[in-house]
Amino acid sequence: WLKLAGLCWSCRGAVELAMVPDAPLHGLRFSTSSRRAALVFCIATCLAASALGSDVLRAQGRTPGVHRYPRSIVVTPADWARLFPNKTITILQGTAPLALNLHSLGASAAAAADADGLGPSEAGTDYASAVSRAASGAWWAEDGSGLFGERVSHGFGIYNPSVVPAPEDGYLLVVVRVSNWHYCPSSGWDGNWSRVPHHEAQDRQFNRAVVALVRVADWQIVEAVPLSFPAARFRARFQEVQEGKVLSERVLEGPEDIRLYKSPGGQIWLLFTFRTIFLAPLHFHFCRGARNCMPSVAMGAEGLIEFSPEALVNSLHRAPGAFKNFNLARFLDEDTTIVEFSMNPRVLLHVDLRSGLWYQVVETQINRFPVFLISKHFYRGGYCCVGPVPWRQMQVSLGVAHIKFNRYIFLHRFYVVRTAPPHDVLAVTPEFCLRLAGPANGAPWLASLGEGCESVQFIAGLALFAEDGLALTAGINDCESAFLTFSLRAILQLLVPVTSSITWQRDGIAALEVAPAPSPAGLRPFFRATQALQRLSRLPPKIEDADSVLLWVQRFADAASRPCSPSEAVGMAAQRPSENPVSQFAESSCVEHAQAEAERLLPKIRKLCSSSQVFRRPEDVRKALLLAKAGFQQLSLPEAASTLASALAESMERQLDASKGRTSAGSFRLAESRGLLAALIWEAGPAEAAATYDRVAAQLDLAGALASAAAAAAGTSDERGRAEDLQRAWVRTASLVRGIRGNIAARSSDTTAGEPIGSPDMLGTPNLDVQTSVDRRAGLSLADFWTEYHTKRRPVVITDLAPLFAEATWENVQSLCGSMTVIPDEYLPRARSWARLIRGGLSWDGRVWNLSAWMQEVRAGRTPLHLGVFDKGLGRRDGTGCPELLRRLRVPAYFAHDLFKRPPRRLTKALAAANFTADADPFRGHPSLFVQAPGFRSGLHADTLASNFWQVNLQGRKLWTLFTIEPELQEVVLHKTFYASTEVVASGPSGPKDAGPRVEVKWGTTFPEDLLLPPKFSSESEARAVAARYGRVDVVVGPGETIYIPGDMPHRVTCLGPDDGADSAEPCLSLSMNFIDATSARAAAGRLRESAALSFAGDRRNTLQLAAILEREHSLEVPPSSAALGTGADGGPLWDWSQGNIQLKS
């Protein structure tokens, strides 16, 4: 009965597949009408097999008290007879001319060192040192420390080898996997499992690979070198799960089960597994005894291609247990190949090696193929293909595939395939196994098992040599390697002809010639993604390509943030700060090329992502367009992003209009969709058209009505409250949008708006209180600062505060704060972002800097002018700030009335009553640091939340360009524009399955720099006209000077260099702080309410509550203590961290 239960359990996969209509079952197809017969047949097979018995696990319990390896080590002929009494299993025995183990690999390195004539005493160069290490066995230490970097406690295996002809005639390349996960006899394990707790021995699984050069003439390993690969790219957490139970969790590192292939031009490729399938070129150089030569073997990460299940047509083939063991079946040319997913059914994929695009082209099925119903796997893996070889007056390709059953037992078949489409299988051999190929079978505790085959025989390589030679490599029990040779003619004689049928084929495939993109297209994931999307857009559209299109749009969006970075650098974004960061910047030509490539792709990607022939569901159209738009946003191409926003808005509007009459429980989701549609319409623009805001407001009105209907139909109080919050949000947003629309109309009716700058009609524009200069003051009393500047919203430069910052020199900042991690900001004129700055930007490769390295490169003049450290917070105690510097500085008393850092008692109580913590301070990280090269500039912007701020210039000279128009007039006079931007914040779905990526609406304000900041004035009258109309003032702030800027005042800042007329090119170092005090509390509350409205979401109660609390603090009265304190330089407060957040203390 136990045997019956076990066999029925092993058959469960066949039962499950048989119940799926038209599901492939290891070569058989069960139609809907035959499901019942298939189930009966499977159960009958179980009952018949149970009568025969099963004794496959021969290694268990042989010696009383000793728990042997819990898998079958050897399957004997008697076992095969009991398992399959009516079948013949062929046992092949080849010649083993070559050993692949630690000793043979190490011996080859020692021989190379001897041939070179270098010994340990001569190791005076890097090369000699490396050869010395090889000769002394450092790589090949028996404890694994040479290959793994540390001693492994329970041994390791050298197994699953692959082989390919080397570029030079007479040699083969062999790769072996080296792993510390399995417990192997050859590593000293004695088979006593009680000494090794299963799944607990290692918390890190290392996978390494060694590539060896083999000379065929005498079957000698000439040289062996470990493979280098980007470790950060191939490292992940891994869970081992069996039958739904998590047995262990560990770190997995390194490629698994590498197969070798050679292109027509001689390029060697690696095909391997790491959670999914990867293809990469191999770069190698062997010395073979040459003097002054360093051998190297490395994975070419620049050509890395990652396969994922999306492009497979049959969903059953996408399962984790099936998506593995690919074969590179045939090179069509140097840049194109056919990859085999499985042998039967034979699923073939077309792969473009330049772009990495792959898609399924055909599936063929062998007619009446004999199968084992007790196996839940189809024929796959092995190695394909070698040739051409002659068979029945035709040239064919030869491959080998395996089938696995009872979890650990492998059988194989050779097969030959047609070399022309549809590349179907023409003949197969009977099932076979290899006669005891593993060297460890000579161990005493295994010798008693007798003749037969090891249960795990993982064939992963074939190679032709000489006239009739076939080399075959196989892994044995995940521990050892076998290198065997056979007569090719003898193998071909075993073949039995079969016929195949096409079960799926892509129609209308034409030659997809895309001109190779200029450098660096072959090196960058971004350029490869654009090439792939171009090719996809030229394929005949098919529903089966929907997942593939989504995959490549996602890759395009992911790579767009770092378009000029190699793939291995992008994966290092969270690694330790770079100590040698000079090479981290991309040339501007690369960034421009990336933007141009994306803009050329825009029409194709819009058509591809909107196609109803590719996407059946509106949700998939939404997801594709959102992801594509995210890519253009990352590239700072707002016009292109707006084009895709418009396409998505049109699609959503058609879909939602069809549901306009629905007021059921689904109204809540429809209300959210209407809100997103409103944001998309706003994003698509045009921003200057009043009609845009009319359409946005109309959609928000519909969203509010749907939210009201959802609240009325809600089944619970939580659902009703959520719907009511959403309805109130749409009302707030619609009101604000209509206000913006009114300002747009007022702007368009301004009679002077169309006049050219400098015309007489623009001079002396009435009713505008603008400044024409900025005062420079010393000895300014606090009372005068408050009444003359602070409450009147006038900027001022204060010249006598340098003593408060005497210790903030360049050297002290670099020494005290040098370990801080920083990410530079990039100024991009086309960016739709605050100050037109992008954190990191397109020229940065994703690696983190430390401040000391950045300052060193800035001072040396090696940083691009458009990159700078901007507003880096110093006031945090979480390891990202610099309290050591701030303890040595004093804040000017002019700016010491920060409501959050020095709150009055009433505000403290109000914040506590509303459960606000120190995180409620929007500028809790301030003061902040600026480190920039001469020539760096920001875009025109106003600081957030109408906050006031001050900045002390510690080194260098800065040009401040201010616009002193009052905030309420900026939309009309300065053409201040609000923009909305829908941004993907998570790639996975939220809510219902396949609902698409989670999206939130972000917003900001921008000013037209081409209008307000012309490169230069043609005349003095033009400069006066701009100053009069727009309130423009330019002021230079030198070392030791402090500038105060009132809230909501637009400004641009430039670190002056020789190109700006400065006498020197000194870098700029500044310290700044934003703050909200009583004078700006009401304006800050208004900005918080704007933020709540423009977030296009429901519950923003915390934001609105904080706005109400702040508004109660509004006052323009001079603080009573100001007069008594004298000037701001008399003794400002110290920084204090006693409360866990930066505070100001007198």
pLDDT of residue 278: 93
The three-state (H, E, C) secondary structure of 679-729, written as one string? HHHHHHCCCCCHHHHHHHHHHHHHHHHHHHHHHHHCCCHHHHHHHHHHHHH
1131: confidence class by pLDDT, cuts 50, 70, 90: very low
Structure tokens at 312: 């497979």
φ, ψ (nearest 5 deg) of residue 58: -70, -25
Q: How far is the C-alpha of 15 from the C-alpha of 38, rounded, in Å?
A: 8
- Average predicted confidence (pLDDT) for the chain: 79
pLDDT of residue 101: 86
Of 34 and 877, more confident: 877
- For residues 408-413, average pLDDT: 87
pLDDT of 495 > 90? The answer is yes
Q: Which of 209-218, 992-1001, 1133-1142 has the highest mean pLDDT?
A: 209-218
pLDDT of residue 438: 80
pLDDT of residue 190: 54
Smallest Cα–Cα separation from 1025: which of 771, 761, 794?
A: 761
Spatial neighbors of 641 by CB under 8 A, at least 6 apart, are 629, 632, 633, 683, 832, 981
pLDDT of 583 > 70? The answer is no
pLDDT of 684 > 80? The answer is yes
Instruction: Please tell me the least confidently modeled range out of 98-112, 509-523, 1079-1093.
Output: 509-523
pLDDT of residue 81: 78
pLDDT of residue 1004: 87
pLDDT of residue 960: 96
Residue pair 514/584 in contact (Cβ under 8 Å)? The answer is: no
Q: How far is the C-alpha of 733 from the C-alpha of 675, rounded, in Å?
A: 10
Q: How far is the C-alpha of 791 from the C-alpha of 1116, rounded, in Å?
A: 6
- For residues 606-633, average pLDDT: 90
- For residues 387-391, average pLDDT: 94
445: confidence class by pLDDT, cuts 50, 70, 90: low
What one-character-per-residue DSSP string does 162-208 give? EEEE-SSTTEEEEEEEEESSS--GGGT--S-GGGS-TTTS-SEEEEE
- Specify which residues 23 forms β-bridges with: 30
Q: What is the three-class DSSP state of 315?
A: helix
pLDDT of 547 > 60? The answer is yes
Helix axes 638-657, 618-634, angle to 10 degrees: 160
pLDDT of residue 592: 86
Q: Which of 309-313, 674-678, 687-691, 929-933 has the highest mean pLDDT?
A: 929-933
In terms of DSSP bridges, do strands 305-307 and 296-299 run parallel, antiparallel, or are they unpaired?
A: unpaired
What one-character-per-residue DSSP string does 543-581 give? GGGHHHHHHHHHHHHHHHTSTTS-HHHHTTTTSPPBSSG
- For residues 440-456, average pLDDT: 70
φ, ψ (nearest 5 deg) of residue 963: -125, 115
pLDDT of 372 > 70? The answer is no
pLDDT of 24 > 50? The answer is no
1071: confidence class by pLDDT, cuts 50, 70, 90: very high
pLDDT of 906 > 60? The answer is yes
pLDDT of residue 758: 36
64: confidence class by pLDDT, cuts 50, 70, 90: very low
* 784 to 822, 898, 947, 1122: CA distances (angstroms): 38, 18, 20, 9
pLDDT of residue 469: 95
pLDDT of residue 694: 92
- For CA atoms 34, 40, 43, 44, the dihedral sign is negative
Q: How far is the C-alpha of 964 from the C-alpha of 942, rounded, in Å?
A: 11
pLDDT of residue 1037: 95
* 1080 to 96, 221, 949: CA distances (angstroms): 85, 78, 11
Which conformational region is residue 840 in: left (phi greater than 0), alpha (psi within -120 to 50 degrees), or beta? Answer: left
Instruction: Please tell me the least confidently modeled range out of 180-184, 886-890, 1054-1058.
Output: 180-184
pLDDT of residue 408: 73
575: confidence class by pLDDT, cuts 50, 70, 90: very low
- For residues 397-407, average pLDDT: 87
CB count in 10 Å sphere of residue 1059: 11
879: confidence class by pLDDT, cuts 50, 70, 90: low
Structure tokens at 642: 């707006």
1053: confidence class by pLDDT, cuts 50, 70, 90: very high
pLDDT of residue 259: 97
In terms of DSSP bridges, do strands 928-932 and 1068-1075 run parallel, antiparallel, or are they unpaired?
A: antiparallel
19: confidence class by pLDDT, cuts 50, 70, 90: very low
CB count in 10 Å sphere of residue 247: 12
pLDDT of residue 447: 61
Place of tokens 């023409």: 426
Under DSSP, the state recorded for 419 is: S
- For residues 352-362, average pLDDT: 88
